[in-house]
Amino acid sequence: MDDVKIAEECAKRALDELGKTEAVRLTLNDEKPDIFSSKFGGTPYLPHDSMPPLSKYQYNDEAAQLRFLAQIDLSQVKHPDFPDTGLLQFWIAGDDCWGLPDNFKVLYYETIAPTVTEDEVRAKLTPFTPMDEEFFPVHGEYGITFEKVMESCPTNSREFIQLFLKYYNEATGEKWEDTWNMPSDIRYDVLEKLNSIYGHKMGGSADFCQGDPRYDDGYKRDFQLLQVSKDFGSDGERIMWGDAGVAHFFIDKDKLRNKDFSDILYYADCC
């Protein structure tokens, strides 16, 4: 048996042993969402008596509005760790760092007022600045389709790599200590093809370009509330974080179950 076939068997054995986690994948669609619907970009829902959240920092002696990234109708998510109802919103600063690390806001509306109109909300939003136009990751307004999936452990995680190398070295008699220097047909044709990290999702495994911030956070906030990846459509870039990056919002699972969105770890990186 050649090394690629051995690698495939060892990888699948490791994935089976590590088990699966439940995730909800999000796919952009071209349907025009209203202000109460799940969406990326566009006009969000805001209660009658509320204004958009403001930046932590002042520019020209005035705090700018944060920019609306996404909102999720949680009744569509159908994941055991998420609330069954309510509207969850994500706002970030419209600067060249996307509001990293702490200039963002996650808002939760347990109930909504159906009498709010889009014109009413749009009147509260300030126009995008040239910086917003250049750096904000979402280009347009998109509806969301939800798909419940069971994901395998990421093939770039410490747990998988350790177990895969154990089985591969036992089968081949080699002594690989990492996967970075393994032959490209194993790294790309086997490990990358089996990886479950990519795409927009809630829950599940996380995709990083440079590193996992939860390690430095002591894994206090380790559950993936939302992952927003790059996204290309027939009309070009729909979502883009710098040079093909990805963004995350992490939370403590118990706080998520208690509908407490006050303590979020926000992170984004790119190539």
- Condensed to tens digits (0 to 9), the pLDDT of residues 235-271 reads 789 999 999 899 999 999 999 999 999 999 999 999 7
Of 50-54, 67-71, 231-235, the least confident: 231-235
What are residue 233's DSSP bridge partners? Answer: 236
pLDDT band at residue 60 using 50, 70 and 90 as cut-offs: low
The CATH number that applies at residue 73 is 2.30.320.10
- What residue numbers bound the domain in which 102 lies? 3-269
Is the pLDDT at 59 greater than 80? The verdict is no
Q: How many domains does the chain have?
A: 1
| Element of type H or E holding 162 | helix 158-172
pLDDT tens, 119-141?
Answer: 999 999 999 999 999 999 999 99
Task: Return the closest-CA partner of residue 248 out of 268, 221, 219.
Answer: 268
pLDDT of residue 220: 95
The CB density around residue 168, as the number of other CB atoms within 10 Å, is 22
State which amino acid sits at residue 153. C
pLDDT band at residue 57 using 50, 70 and 90 as cut-offs: confident
Is the pLDDT at 1 greater than 80? The verdict is no
State which amino acid sits at residue 95. D
What are residue 54's DSSP bridge partners? Answer: 65
Check if the beta carbon of residue 208 is closer than 8 Å to that of residue 269: yes
The mean predicted confidence, pLDDT, of the chain is 95
First to last CA, the chain: 36
What is the Cα–Cα distance from 92 to 104, expressed in whole angstroms? 4
What is the Cα–Cα distance from 15 to 186, expressed in whole angstroms? 16
| Element of type H or E holding 13 | helix 3-18
**Residue 46, both tokens:** 């805001």
pLDDT of residue 211: 84
